[in-house]
C-alpha cells in the first residue's frame, strides 16, 4: 500500500540562455515503506501554455547524477536534443537520493503526481533512462504498462523475461554498447527476445565500439525523438 503525502517546498524558475524553454525545480514527497523526497527538473517548451496538453517525456538519470544538486540531472540525457529540435514536449526528470537506487514505489507515485499536476497528454507519455535509470525504465514500465506510449531503456542492467508479456503492447527501443562491461549487452538482448516472443514492437541499437556510455550517441540521435513522438496509445 502506498501512502501519499503532499508537500512541495522548493520552487524556482530560471530561463534558459536561448529563451527556447523554461526550467523549474520542484520537490516531490511520498511515503512508501519509508519517506522519500526528491527534487525534480521540469523543462517546458517554448510558448508553453497550461491550457494546452503536451506529450511528456520522463527521464531517469544514472548513478553518477544522484544527490541534491539538480543541475547534475542535466549532465546527460535528452535535454539538449529536445531543445535543439524545438519539440513541443514536457521533459520531467526526478533526482534520486545519494547512494540509493531508484525506488519503484516512489517513481510509481511520482508519475501519478506529475500527470495530475501538469497539462499532460495521457496518450503520449514516454519513458527513458540510462544505466541505473535504464534498469528503472524496465521496472517502472512493467509496474504500469498502461501509462507509457513508448519506452527507451539505455544500457539498463535489469531484465525479467518472465514479466515481458506485461509490455507486449508497449513499443521499446533499447540501446547498448557492445563493449559494455558494466552492464552486459546480453541483459538487453534477453528482455527483447522475450518481448519478441509475444509479438511486441521492439528495436535494439548496438554500438559496436562503445562500452558503457551508449547514452551519448543514443540521446544525440534525432530519430529517437521522432520514434517516440510517433507513438500514441490506441494507435
Domains of the chain: which residue ranges?
41-229
Q: How far apart are CA 125 and CA 148, in angstroms?
A: 5
Q: Name the grid cell of 144.
A: 504500469
Q: How far apart are CA 43 and CA 79, in angstroms?
A: 8
Considering the entire predicted model, what is its pTM? Answer: 0.86
CATH topology of domain 41-229: Rossmann fold (3.40.50)
Q: What percent of the chain has pLDDT over 90?
A: 77
User: Do the Cβ atoms of 66 and 97 come closer than 8 Å?
Assistant: yes
pLDDT in tens, 8-62: 232 233 333 334 567 777 666 666 555 656 789 999 999 999 999 999 999 999 9
Please give the full DSSP string across 88-127, using - where no structure is assigned. --EEEEE-PPTT----HHHHHHHHHHHHHHTTEEEEEEEE
pLDDT in tens, 138-191: 999 999 999 999 999 999 976 678 899 999 999 999 999 999 999 999 999 999
Amino acid at each position: 500500500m502506498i501512502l501519499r503525502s503532499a508537500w512541495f517546498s522548493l520552487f524556482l524558475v530560471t530561463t534558459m540562455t536561448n529563451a527556447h524553454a523554461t526550467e523549474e525545480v520542484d520537490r516531490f514527497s511520498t511515503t512508501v515503506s519509508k519517506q522519500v523526497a526528491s527534487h525534480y527538473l521540469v523543462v517546458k517548451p517554448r510558448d508553453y501554455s497550461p491550457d494546452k496538453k503536451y506529450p511528456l517525456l520522463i527521464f531517469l538519470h544514472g548513478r553518477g547524477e544522484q544527490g541534491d544538486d539538480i543541475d547534475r540531472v542535466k549532465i546527460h540525457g535528452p535535454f539538449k536534443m529536445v531543445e535543439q529540435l524545438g519539440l513541443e514536449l514536457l521533459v520531467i526528470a526526478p533526482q534520486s537520493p545519494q547512494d540509493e537506487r531508484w525506488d519503484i514505489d516512489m517513481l510509481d507515485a511520482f508519475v501519478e503526481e506529475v500527470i495530475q499536476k501538469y497539462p499532460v497528454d495521457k496518450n503520449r507519455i514516454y519513458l527513458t533512462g540510462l544505466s541505473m535509470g535504464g534498469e528503472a525504465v524496465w521496472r517502472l514500465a512493467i509496474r504500469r504498462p498502461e501509462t507509457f506510449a513508448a519506452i527507451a531503456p539505455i544500457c539498463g542492467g535489469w531484465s525479467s523475461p518472465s514479466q515481458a508479456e506485461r509490455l507486449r503492447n508497449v513499443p521499446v527501443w533499447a540501446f547498448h554498447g557492445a563493449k559494455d562491461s558494466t552492464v552486459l549487452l546480453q541483459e538487453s538482448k534477453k528482455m527483447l527476445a522475450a518481448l519478441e516472443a509475444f509479438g511486441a514492437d521492439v528495436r535494439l541499437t548496438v554500438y559496436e565500439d562503445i562500452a558503457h556510455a551508449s547514452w551519448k550517441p543514443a540521446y544525440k540521435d534525432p530519430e529517437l525523438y521522432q520514434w517516440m513522438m510517433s507513438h500514441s496509445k490506441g494507435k
